[in-house]
Amino acid sequence: MLYREAGQFKATYAEDSQIFPIRQDKIGIALILAVAFVGAPLLSVAGMLSDYTFTAILTPFLIFSLAALGLNILTGYAGQLSLGTAAFMAVGAFASYNFMLRIDGMPILMAFILGGLCAAAVGIVFGLPSLRIRGFYLAAATLATQFFIVWCLTKVGWFTNYSSSGVITAQKIEILGYTFDTAFSKYLFVLSVVTVMALLAKNMVRTNIGRSWMAIRDMDMAAEVIGFRPMQTKLMAFAVSSFYCGVAGALFAYAYLGTVEPEGFNLDLSFRILFMIIIGGVGSILGSFLGAAFIVLLPIGLNMFMHFLEGSVGINLPSGISSSFELMVFGALIIFFLIVEPHGLARLWQIGKEKLRLWPFPH
Amino acid sequence: MKFVQKAMVAAAFATAALSASAQDQFFPALSYRVGPYAAGGTGFFGGVIDYLSLINAQGGINGVKMVWEECETEYNATRGVECYERLKKVRGGATMVEPLSTGIAYGLLDRVAQDKIPMTTLGYGRSDAADGRVFPFVFPLITSYWNQAAGMMKYLGDKEGGLDKLKGKKIVHLYHDSAYGKEPFAVFEAYAKQYGFELIKLAVPHPGNEQQSQWLQIRQAKPDYVILWGWGVMNAVALKTAQRNGYPSGKILGVWWAGSEEDVIPAGSAANGYTTMTFNTPGNYPLLDEIKKKVYAAGKGNLEDKSRIGSTYHMRGVTAAILWTEAVRKAQEKYGKGKAMTSEQVRWGFENLNVDEARLKALGAFGMMPPVKTTCLDHEGSGAVKVQRWDGKAWKAVTPNWVVGDKAMIRKMQEESAAKYAAEKKITLRDCSKEG
């Protein structure tokens, strides 16, 4: 009843090709953005949301969403399985750090873009094998990226400015004299970057580039026959995906952790981001956000729930049991969701939307 | 999202209900009890909680009770930061924080300075954080990696009858191929240059469950000593591979993260005679008996397996908790006995620790750990280490006294490195002559 596009006529081509063609979607997105940009600050001023929410929940959630989005472009849209996400994030973080360190007066956003471009360049180089190999074999090749980059960052002292502990410490985020140093300002900064990049991605996947990615994903032979160049298309996917991951990595270092070591970007992180898109939905922008929410926020929620049980109900579990229990519930939920909906949470949302269209008169 | 928010509200209420008295000293325990490093996490945080329970059983510090709350980090930086942010303001505020994880410690480095909460990093983290002028809130208490490396050199030199006798010897540095394994390079290289021994560096990629090629190289090089700077599964594999290649375990000297029961028991007989660094002297102490009597007998002990009382990680946890509570005690002396201390007051306590031998005797822990005396300049407080040997059943101390390397050289390196960090971060050095 509420979610029905009946009566919304598109009279021009421009109207028909909007990012969000359905009015309800537009309102929904506008609402979410309004809550994120205006509502959250108001609540924070009113004391309803603490710094904790911004710095420990929302900021990492947004950063991982961006990384998942990057991987989703490559794996979900262009069909190239990658296990090197964390490595591309590392390139973005370390490159941004070096641009900031070595060039005086480098604007931070420029450093992020340059960091992303470095990640894109690395992505192109390590994407070359994708021209010859597919599927699991490509995954193994991207695994090499993962190990090579982390090894390289520890091996070559220049990248960490010869830090004795092999770590980098992110410089301050400063734009036009304003320093983003509180939990809340960092959140707004991350939110702005992520919003712009997510909208760009949403738009990009509908363009010629996005369509060519999907053509390659669905059947690369056929795509080649109808005139898509596999080399350009695949490398473009690697470049764009790595750019997104690189920016996410830079945000991870600058707006979240502060000091990072190359080991922070290990294979575990790559897998976590891969799980995000599998749970969230492969080939869906929304899915990247849902997946990140699931993987980042659910364990925290479970942990709090266990603390709540222990604290208020008075169940006193032996230490360690609650941690194990948390993992078990988390694992069970992953399996549950994959059985119920193998195409991810985004697909669940889509089914929900279809149902909503007919509701309450399904006939 | 909704669930999370609900849980958060619930947790907020729960913690509000728990914060019974403002007179409690609250310690967040960023523990890890699941995952690949659970053995270390359960032992260490078990030790911490056991000691805090003991303090409570003895009536607290001048009547102030210790309270704590655990939060599972899984050794993961993101989870650790979340736990820290969650716990830093509950129950009257966190006294201090100790994540026992390099990645989490780095994630907290800027945060603790901003929140003015002291962070201890016992035996890991940035070695240059010992310079309290640049890192006022970070305390790598007892010994950093660099002082450990210097201690290793001193021990090997003493074994040969003097450091100058190392001339012409071969020492292999078999390290976990990460920033952690590379940390002591500068120290070893300086020693190699000064005393004229050959340093061979061999990297083992993470996780280190295949080391045949490295040990073949070691067999060919016939080194006098092998320093095992390993982590996790790498340690047991190194010992087993050494045995297969006929390299005597007595010539292998491990780092302290390669020196727990969990590292040697999986290696079986290959570990007999293997030596490692540590900052505790293995053995039994009146303090541990006290913990057994007052904490475990009352059913409040944290370890499920009581045989782990006094094990390497457990003792390390007890040691950490001794230093924390001594810092609180010190702070109370200055800011008012019988009051709960704020994190800034405890920071002062950490900076003015003086756990000398007499104090350790009073605690029933004499000999268990080196005396620790910190200042504004020196946040490490000791730099002393010990060497222990695995006899197949238990760790036994090899060196009767504490081993201290070339502290002046290490201090110079720490200051240089800290100065570089300060320049990068545009930090002005604290003037220690003005600190009271």
Is there a domain that residue B250 lies in? yes
Domains of chain A with bracketed CATH: 1-7+21-49 (no CATH), 50-358 (1.10.3470)
Q: pLDDT value at position B17?
A: 42
Q: pLDDT value at position A1?
A: 63
Which member of B33, B103, B304 has the closest CB to residue A263?
B103
The separation between CA A46 and the C-alpha centre of its own chain, rounded to angstroms, equals 30
The separation between CA A146 and the C-alpha centre of its own chain, rounded to angstroms, equals 17
Q: pLDDT value at position A44?
A: 83
Clarify whether residues B103 and B53 are in a common domain.
yes
Backbone torsion region of residue A166, taken as left when φ is above 0, otherwise alpha when ψ lies between -120 and 50, otherwise beta: left
pLDDT tens string B194-224: 999 999 999 998 788 889 999 999 999 999 9
Q: How confident is the model at residue B1 (pLDDT cuts 50, 70, 90)?
A: very low
More confident residue, B366 or A357: B366
Is there a domain that residue B394 lies in? yes
Q: pLDDT value at position A114?
A: 97
Is there a domain that residue B182 lies in? yes
- CB pairs A-B closer than 8 Å: 159
Name the nearest CA neighbour of B24 among B15, B32, B33.
B15
B69 touches A: beta carbon within 8 Å = yes
CB B71 within 8 A of CB B312: no
Kind and range of the H or E element at B372? Answer: strand B372-373
Q: pLDDT value at position A363?
A: 66
Is there a domain that residue B414 lies in? no
| Residue in A closest to B46 by C-alpha | A319
CATH of the domain at B179: 3.40.50.2300
- Work out how many domains chain B is built from and give that number: 2
- Helices A85-102 and A230-251, packing angle to 10 deg: 60
Q: Indicate if the pLDDT at residue B13 is higher than 80.
A: no
Clarify whether residues B254 and B149 are in a common domain.
yes
pLDDT tens string B390-429: 999 999 999 888 999 898 999 999 999 999 889 888 888 8
Clarify whether residues B52 and B106 are in a common domain.
yes
Clarify whether residues B262 and B123 are in a common domain.
no
Is there a domain that residue B9 lies in? no
Which member of B110, B128, B302 has the closest CB to residue A259?
B110
Question: Given an 8 Å threshold on Cβ–Cβ distance, is B102 in contact with A151?
Answer: no
Chain A nearest CA to B400, separation (Å) = 31
Chain A nearest CA to B187, separation (Å) = 10
A352 touches B: beta carbon within 8 Å = no
Dihedral (CA of A156, A161, A164, A166) sign: negative
B3 touches A: beta carbon within 8 Å = yes
Which member of B31, B128, B179 has the closest CB to residue A154?
B179
A156 touches B: beta carbon within 8 Å = no
More confident residue, A3 or B163: B163
Q: How confident is the model at residue B16 (pLDDT cuts 50, 70, 90)?
A: very low
CB B87 within 8 A of CB B69: yes
Give B203-265 as a DSSP string.
Answer: EE-TT----HHHHHHHHHH--SEEEEE--THHHHHHHHHHHHTT--GGGEEE-GGG-SHHHHG
pLDDT tens string A192-236: 999 999 999 999 999 999 999 999 999 989 999 999 999 999 999
CB B291 within 8 A of CB B318: yes
Name the nearest CA neighbour of B140 among B290, B323, B1, B309.
B323
Measured CA to CA, the distance from residue B131 to residue B110 in angstroms comes to 16
To the nearest whole number, what is the mean pLDDT of chain B? 89
Clarify whether residues B220 and B268 are in a common domain.
yes
Which A residues 263-292 touch B at CB under 8 Å?
263-264, 266, 268
Q: Indicate if the pLDDT at residue B28 is higher than 90.
A: yes
Measured CA to CA, the distance from residue B272 to residue B191 in angstroms comes to 29
Question: Given an 8 Å threshold on Cβ–Cβ distance, is A256 in contact with B425?
Answer: no
Clarify whether residues B228 and B312 are in a common domain.
no
Clarify whether residues B158 and B241 are in a common domain.
yes
Contact list, A318 vs chain B (CB under 8 Å): 304
Q: pLDDT value at position A315?
A: 66
Q: pLDDT value at position A199?
A: 94
Contact list, B419 vs chain A (CB under 8 Å): none
B10 touches A: beta carbon within 8 Å = yes
Q: How confident is the model at residue B383 (pLDDT cuts 50, 70, 90)?
A: confident
Question: Given an 8 Å threshold on Cβ–Cβ distance, is A323 in contact with B72?
Answer: yes
Q: pLDDT value at position B436?
A: 61
Clarify whether residues B248 and B208 are in a common domain.
yes
Contact list, B33 vs chain A (CB under 8 Å): 319-320, 323-324
- The two tokens of residue B398 are 């090899």
Q: pLDDT value at position B26?
A: 94
Question: Given an 8 Å threshold on Cβ–Cβ distance, is A308 in contact with B14?
Answer: yes
Q: pLDDT value at position B329?
A: 94
Measured CA to CA, the distance from residue A110 to residue A115 in angstroms comes to 8
What does each C-alpha distance from B118 to A80, A312, B319, B350, B380 come to in angstroms?
46, 30, 17, 8, 13
CB A153 within 8 A of CB A90: yes
Is there a domain that residue B432 lies in? no
Which member of B8, B82, B179 has the closest CB to residue A165?
B179
Which of B31, B86, B138 to probe by mutation at the A interface, max A CB count within 10 Å? B86
pLDDT tens string B65-110: 999 988 999 888 889 999 999 999 888 889 999 999 888 998 899 8
Largest CA distance in chain B: 68
B18 touches A: beta carbon within 8 Å = yes
Q: What is the DSSP letter of B32?
A: -
Which member of A55, A165, A323 has the closest CB to residue B183?
A165
A185 touches B: beta carbon within 8 Å = no
Ranges of chain A with pLDDT below 50: none
Measured CA to CA, the distance from residue B415 to residue A38 in angstroms comes to 46
Clarify whether residues B36 and B158 are in a common domain.
no
A322 touches B: beta carbon within 8 Å = yes
pLDDT tens string B142-156: 989 999 999 999 999
Can you tell me whether residue A5 is helix, strand or coil?
A: coil
Which of B50, B74, B106 to probe by mutation at the A interface, max A CB count within 10 Å? B106
Clarify whether residues B85 and B128 are in a common domain.
yes
Is there a domain that residue B434 lies in? no
Contact list, A154 vs chain B (CB under 8 Å): 177-179, 182
List, in sequence order, the alpha helices (H) in chain A: 13-16, 23-34, 40-45, 51-52, 59-71, 85-102, 108-127, 135-155, 183-204, 208-218, 220-225, 230-251, 267-280, 285-292, 298-308, 321-340, 345-358
Chain B nearest CA to A109, separation (Å) = 19
Clarify whether residues B151 and B205 are in a common domain.
yes
Query: Which residue matches tokens 């849902």?
Result: A290
Measured CA to CA, the distance from residue B6 to residue A347 in angstroms comes to 25
Question: Given an 8 Å threshold on Cβ–Cβ distance, is B205 in contact with A305?
Answer: no
Domain that holds residue B152: 145-278+387-406
Is there a domain that residue B294 lies in? yes
Clarify whether residues B149 and B256 are in a common domain.
yes
- The two tokens of residue B88 are 């830093």
